[in-house]
Amino acid sequence: MRFLLLPGKSFTNIILNYLITLPDLKAAILISQGITSVLSFLYLVGWFRDSDKKKILDWLLSSDNEFPFEERIVRKFVKKFPLPENESESTYSLSKMRVLSPGGGVLSAAIRYVREDSTVVKDAATLDEIRKWSEETPYGWLVFTTSFIGFTITFFSYIQSYLKQG
């Protein structure tokens, strides 16, 4: 067995030397790339996105109704776009402001915090901010991780074939 790395007992050296000496890595490469492709597709179509955040965005863009959401959805919104420090959570509601084009499309929109007496406390978030927030997901690292694993396996496969030649 040839050692590409310096001989040693570290965990990294043991794993890397094992990977280099595997007889065939093509199946591992295909599996890794397949998983990466599936995860990338699911990420692109929004499967990892939070449906509660999407409900708020959809309400802002298309609904003419009052804010129909459960408390947990409102809590997510307030966590990201907090109230002013001197305001109590029990004395506000959410309201939206939309500017529509003559054709019916939304030119701009915002969600506001409003007191019970209908005075605006503050603009909580604009349409752009809500779009960015609704697309945030903690699962973006999955695609990167599987891609990196695939790259690593491909790299060691290349090294293995190079060592066999020379």
Taking only the tens place, the pLDDT of each residue in 106-145 is 888 998 888 878 788 788 899 999 999 988 887 778 778 8
Looking at residue 5, its pLDDT comes to 47
| Contact yes or no for 130/58 (Cβ under 8 A) | no
- pLDDT classification of 3: cutoffs 50, 70, 90: very low
Which of 30-39, 66-75, 76-85, 126-135 has the least mean pLDDT?
Answer: 66-75
Asked whether the predicted pLDDT for residue 80 surpasses 80, the reply is yes
Which of 51-55, 65-69, 159-163 has the least mean pLDDT?
Answer: 65-69
DSSP 35-82: HHHHHHHHHHTTTTS-HHHHHHHHHHHH--S-----HHHHHHHHHHSP
d(CA 63, CA 78): 20
> Mean pLDDT across the stretch 54-75?
80
